[in-house]
Amino acid sequence: MEKVVLIKSLYRNSEEHLSKKVKISGWIRTLRASNAFGFIEINDGSFFKNVQVVFDNKLENFKEISKLPINSSLKVIGTLVATPDSKQQFEIQATEVIVEGMSQSDYPLQKKRHSFEYLRTIAHLRPRTNAFSAVFRVRSVAAYAIHKFFQEKGFVYTHTPILTGSDCEGAGEMFKVTTLDLDKTPKTEQGAIDYSKDFFGKESNLTVSGQLNAECFALAFRNVYTFGPTFRAENSNTARHAAEFWMVEPEIAFADLEDNMELSEEMLKYVISYVMAECPEEMDFFNQFVDKGILDRLNHVVSSDFAKVTYTEAVEILKATDKKFDYKVEWGIDLQTEHERYLTEEHFKKPLFVTDYPKDIKAFYMRVNEDGKTVAAMDLLVPGIGEIIGGSQREERLDVLTKRLADLNLNEEDYWWYLELRKYGETKHAGFGLGFERLIMYITGMSNIRDVIPFPRTTGQSDF
Amino acid sequence: MEKVVLIKSLYRNSEEHLSKKVKISGWIRTLRASNAFGFIEINDGSFFKNVQVVFDNKLENFKEISKLPINSSLKVIGTLVATPDSKQQFEIQATEVIVEGMSQSDYPLQKKRHSFEYLRTIAHLRPRTNAFSAVFRVRSVAAYAIHKFFQEKGFVYTHTPILTGSDCEGAGEMFKVTTLDLDKTPKTEQGAIDYSKDFFGKESNLTVSGQLNAECFALAFRNVYTFGPTFRAENSNTARHAAEFWMVEPEIAFADLEDNMELSEEMLKYVISYVMAECPEEMDFFNQFVDKGILDRLNHVVSSDFAKVTYTEAVEILKATDKKFDYKVEWGIDLQTEHERYLTEEHFKKPLFVTDYPKDIKAFYMRVNEDGKTVAAMDLLVPGIGEIIGGSQREERLDVLTKRLADLNLNEEDYWWYLELRKYGETKHAGFGLGFERLIMYITGMSNIRDVIPFPRTTGQSDF
């Protein structure tokens, strides 16, 4: 018996298969039949589009086939025939249809439009719909594009730890990890919980960022990146926050903020271009049904030279406009989404780096500028979404970093290894973080983070 | 000023650079100097090998350079000169040496051999040594090879969740995840911990496998894979167990155990070949200093046709040999490492699939064979290590699966969505799991899992 051909191959190499016998396997997306013949749209998971199968009552199991519930799985043998006059470029005229697995008539995904909210309740089935088939294939291809981009530049992919001792990061919104029996936690003589009895012998949390660990590797391998899950126990029920999400964090040595901006611009353009080239059917779907105009917007990003402005200049621009903001602009504030979107969408009309933010609103590890008031930070803002990347040059001067820790009441001993990176052969270095889900929302036009994660975890929600 | 050239480029494209002015930046690995001239071995992180820089007292900072501590960072401008009579193929004759960052004289990695045990205590610095530079670059390249292999076949990379409700998996060795205040956990009226107050409104754990979720996606996309961290709270202090490790889990629809074996064999050969081709310097290092003969062993794996034997036949082979085992062989036992290694190293002398294990020692989701006693499971055993891959065809028959759950006292309601995959368009499907660290140990010859993970987490150990 001939080998099964993937539907992707029928579309991408149709010349090779036309007028020949082919064998496919897949699931019924739609089926309609009269007494004499019928049509089945089959999807085999390899491709966004279905292929149409025509069958007639010469098949001995014609009656059985005609009544199959949606999403039953089939093997079909037949001839691939060009159909230049119809909507499809070709169809399969079946000579044999074998039922592999019957579906049941209460299958929840009958041919009608379902709301994304409803589909979240059947996350185990929703990748079978057009929208989620497109989203999750794009997610996969974008993830690969990120690896390809960095690997071809010789960056070392570094698996930074997920489980971390609680010493080094602000513990406010972290998940605790434990193997203690919560019904009878061991206690110290002072009555506190005795974490020396816990799995790691101390309090442990889920990571919020791999950056500090990645810096260790950048100072050995020069150019590294992480790509893995990170966690926030933020009790916020918004369309943009999830408790578990994936981050990409490159870290580059012998590099300053300019190099960092150049790298992030190049990466973003590469990933978007790669997805548009590899997933044209999916991108057309988003452009038609999810977010009209998204293709124009992405093409614009890819062909723009990103603008650059300092925070101080950006504040002047925002103060000078007649536009009313909910949140008043003064030097020293953290820019809000309304400000970011005005800058990138209305003022600059293209992607925009805002640099050199006030020291007091940024993290301890960002390099202090000559003015003593600002740090070498950068945020990349894009039309339609606002901030998509945040990064900085890192403080490499041991004395300045030590003073920053003290000013922020952070305990120097907790950072002994991070400080040692500055003692032993420090160089300028920089890095940034890209929230992978935000990128996927940006590329697909999907507006809720729950709809770009296979099985999303948010406040009160960890089903499947 | 000319652009910095990576040392990798000096080696890989030396023709392009020879007799020309080049600029590099990197860290001092060794330095020796007389009154007239000196030699520096510089590594810039881009490549396993160093480049030698020769400098003399015509440099105005000659004295300063001569006394630099190991691992200070430098920029060097000079001419790349072929040195056909010496150990190195070329060297840089420096015209300018700029100190970027001084190291300090108590730098722990002076030029001598350190034990792997000691190096674990300075995990932030150990990637600067030859051994760990080689290990972690190979880890990165192998990870990329896995993505490349599956993506080029059209597999969809699926990020399965890390945080899971506790319903679906044996909870014995899982880490609990919580945001409850452990000092005053909320209680129900019955006095139990009130998990409805926890972040997800119920007990949550860290995942031990993405398989069940991956199956949902395989039944939509046909061919999918996961590659992400998984967790075991196993209190065992061995060279092969870590609490946090990365797993690769492909899942393929319209596929049986034969397809599964074929895929795993092809994948393993691909990844090993890719690493040997991309990292020849690192592999030579392992072959010389870590595990003599490893290149022969890997070449043998790549060129072998893997053998296949059923569990029942394997038991007969083990009973027939004169070899003494610590653990007695009877039909029904789980094979021990000593048995596995005898089969693959002494009897078959090549990689070996053992299939069709007794039902009672395998998981509920494995497909029950016609005999009713065995399941369509497979373990891949390789010389030198034993089991490296485990997988199975999945039970696709709703009635059989439901009965298995009942036999094992598992609660059908907890598996409602997993069972629905069998109700709605089931097909044969299969998959396997590859422990990524075990693969890296196998490729590098490193014998302790702590030495193939950037920042390992094991019982009592979560530093950095």
Are the C-beta atoms of residues A342 and A349 closer than 8 Å to each other?
no
Neighbours of B77 (CB within 10 A): 17
Measure the CA–CA gap between B301 and B386, rounded to whole angstroms.
13
Of A140, A201, A219, the CB nearest to B157: A140
Structure tokens at B364: 């509920």
Measure the CA–CA gap between A174 and A171, rounded to whole angstroms.
5
Contact at CB, A229 and B233, closer than 8 angstroms? no
Are the C-beta atoms of residues A378 and A257 closer than 8 Å to each other?
yes
- Give the long-range contacts of residues A75-79, CB within 8 A, separation 24 or more: A75/A4, A75/A23, A75/A24, A75/A25, A75/A100, A76/A23, A76/A24, A76/A25, A76/A26, A76/A40, A76/A42, A77/A2, A77/A21, A77/A22, A77/A23, A78/A21, A78/A22, A78/A53, A79/A19, A79/A20, A79/A21, A79/A22
> From first to last of its 464 residues, what are the pLDDT tens digits of chain B?
568 999 999 999 999 999 999 999 999 999 999 999 999 999 999 999 999 999 999 999 999 999 999 999 999 999 999 999 998 899 999 999 999 999 998 999 987 789 999 999 999 999 999 999 999 999 999 999 999 999 999 999 999 999 998 655 554 689 999 999 998 899 999 999 999 999 999 999 999 999 999 999 999 999 999 999 999 998 888 999 999 999 999 999 999 999 999 999 999 999 999 999 999 999 999 999 999 999 999 999 999 999 999 999 999 999 999 999 999 999 999 999 999 999 999 999 999 999 999 999 999 999 999 999 999 999 999 988 889 999 999 999 999 999 999 999 999 999 999 999 999 989 999 999 999 999 999 999 999 999 999 999 999 999 99
β-bridge partners, A131:
none
> CB neighbours of A313 closer than 8 A, spacing ≥ 6?
none
* pLDDT at residue A166, rounded to an integer: 65
> CB neighbours of B210 closer than 8 A, spacing ≥ 6?
B158, B160, B161, B226, B228, B230, B247, B249
A462: which chain B residues are within 8 Å (Cβ-Cβ)? 161, 163-165, 200, 202, 204
* pLDDT at residue A266, rounded to an integer: 98
- Work out the burial of residue A291: count CB atoms within 10 Å of its CB; fewer than 13 is exposed, 13-18 middle, 19 or more buried: middle
* pLDDT at residue B118, rounded to an integer: 96
User: What is the spatial order of strands in the sheet that A176-178 belongs to?
Assistant: A163-165, A204-206, A176-178, B176-178, B204-206, B163-165
B244: which chain A residues are within 8 Å (Cβ-Cβ)? 161-163
Structure tokens at A79: 């001839």
B-facing residues of A in 261-320 (CB < 8 A) are none
| Residue A254: φ, ψ to 5° | 55, 45
> CB neighbours of B201 closer than 8 A, spacing ≥ 6?
A460, A461, B195
Cα radius of gyration rounded to whole Å, chain B? 27
The top-level CATH class assigned to A7-101 is mainly beta
| Packing angle, helices A257-278 and A130-152, rounded to 10 | 140
Pairing of strands B163-165, B307-310: unpaired
What is the value of pTM for the model shown? 0.97
Are the C-beta atoms of residues B457 and B234 closer than 8 Å to each other?
no
Tell me the torsion sign for CA atoms B266, B270, B273, B276. negative
* Residue carrying structure tokens 């670059």: B137
Nearest to A298 by CA among A192, A159, A439: A439
Of A45, A144, A182, the CB nearest to B182: A182
Structure tokens at A229: 């899950």
Closest residue in chain A to residue B165, using alpha carbons only: A462
Say if B6 is an interface residue toward chain A (CB within 8 Å): yes
Judged by DSSP in three states, B379 sits in strand
Are the C-beta atoms of residues A385 and A441 closer than 8 Å to each other?
yes
Measure the CA–CA gap between A45 and A329, rounded to whole angstroms.
50
β-bridge partners, A415:
none
Contact at CB, A159 and B246, closer than 8 angstroms? yes
Judged by DSSP in three states, B449 sits in helix
B-facing residues of A in 42-101 (CB < 8 A) are 44-46, 71-73, 100-101
β-bridge partners, A443:
none
Judged by DSSP in three states, B17 sits in helix
Of A45, A163, A421, the CB nearest to B243: A163
Structure tokens at A171: 């513990």
Mutation choice for B interface testing from A47, A103, A424 by most B CBs within 10 A: A424
Are the C-beta atoms of residues A252 and A263 closer than 8 Å to each other?
yes
Say if A398 is an interface residue toward chain B (CB within 8 Å): no
Say if A427 is an interface residue toward chain B (CB within 8 Å): yes
B124: which chain A residues are within 8 Å (Cβ-Cβ)? 216, 417-418, 420-421
DSSP alpha helix (H) spans, B25-165 = 62-66, 116-120, 130-152
CA distances, A259 to each of A302, A359, B149, B424 (Å)? 19, 21, 31, 52
Amino acid identity of residue B439, one-letter, is: L
3-state secondary structure chain A: CCCCCCHHHHHHCHHHHCCCEEEEEEEEEEEEECCCEEEEEEECCCCCCCEEEEEECCCCCHHHHHCCCCCCEEEEEEEEEECCCCCCCEEEEEEEEEEEECCCCCCCCCCCCCCHHHHHCCCCCHHHCHHHHHHHHHHHHHHHHHHHHHHHCCCEECCCCCEEEHHHCCCCCCCEEECCCCCCCCECCCCCECHHHCCCCCCEEECCCCHHHHHHHHHHHCEEEEEEEEECCCCCCCCCCCCEEEEEEEEEECCCHHHHHHHHHHHHHHHHHHHHHHCHHHHHHHHHHHCCCHHHHHHHHHHCCCEEEEHHHHHHHHHHCCCCCCCCCCCCCCCCHHHHHHHHHHHCCCCEEEEEEEHHHCCCCECECCCCCEEEEEEEEECCCEEEEEEEEECCCHHHHHHHHHHCCCCHHHHHHHHHHHHCCCCCEEEEEEEHHHHHHHHHCCCCHHHCCCCCCECCECCC
* Residue carrying structure tokens 């040999």: B321
Check residue B347 and report its DSSP letter. Answer: I
Q: What share of chain B is helix, strand, coil (3-state, %, to 5)?
A: 35, 25, 40
Structure tokens at A252: 């580059």
Which homologous superfamily does the CATH classification assign to the domain defined by B128-165+209-451? Bira Bifunctional Protein; Domain 2 (3.30.930.10)
Residues of chain A with pLDDT under 70: 1-2, 166-172
| Packing angle, helices A257-278 and A294-303, rounded to 10 | 140
Of B107, B140, B223, the CB nearest to A157: B140
Check residue B345 and report its DSSP letter. Answer: I
Are the C-beta atoms of residues A318 and A292 closer than 8 Å to each other?
no
Region of residue A267 (phi > 0: left; psi between -120 and 50: alpha; otherwise: beta) = alpha
Q: Where are the domains of chain A?
A: 7-101, 128-165+209-451, 172-207
A-facing residues of B in 101-160 (CB < 8 A) are 101-104, 107, 122-125, 127-128, 132-133, 136-137, 139-141, 143-144, 147, 151, 154-160
The overall average pLDDT reported for chain A is 95
Region of residue B222 (phi > 0: left; psi between -120 and 50: alpha; otherwise: beta) = left
Tell me the torsion sign for CA atoms A410, A415, A418, A423. positive
A155: which chain B residues are within 8 Å (Cβ-Cβ)? 140
The complex scores an ipTM of 0.97
Of A107, A158, A163, the CB nearest to B462: A163
A192: which chain B residues are within 8 Å (Cβ-Cβ)? 183
Contact at CB, A46 and B222, closer than 8 angstroms? yes
* pLDDT at residue A384, rounded to an integer: 84
Structure tokens at B72: 């200070």
A44: which chain B residues are within 8 Å (Cβ-Cβ)? 222, 254
Structure tokens at A154: 């010789």
Which secondary structure element, helix H or strand E, spans residue B391, and what is its range? strand B386-393
| Domains B7-101 and B128-165+209-451 belong to one CATH topology | no
Are the C-beta atoms of residues A214 and A226 closer than 8 Å to each other?
yes
Contact at CB, A464 and B123, closer than 8 angstroms? no
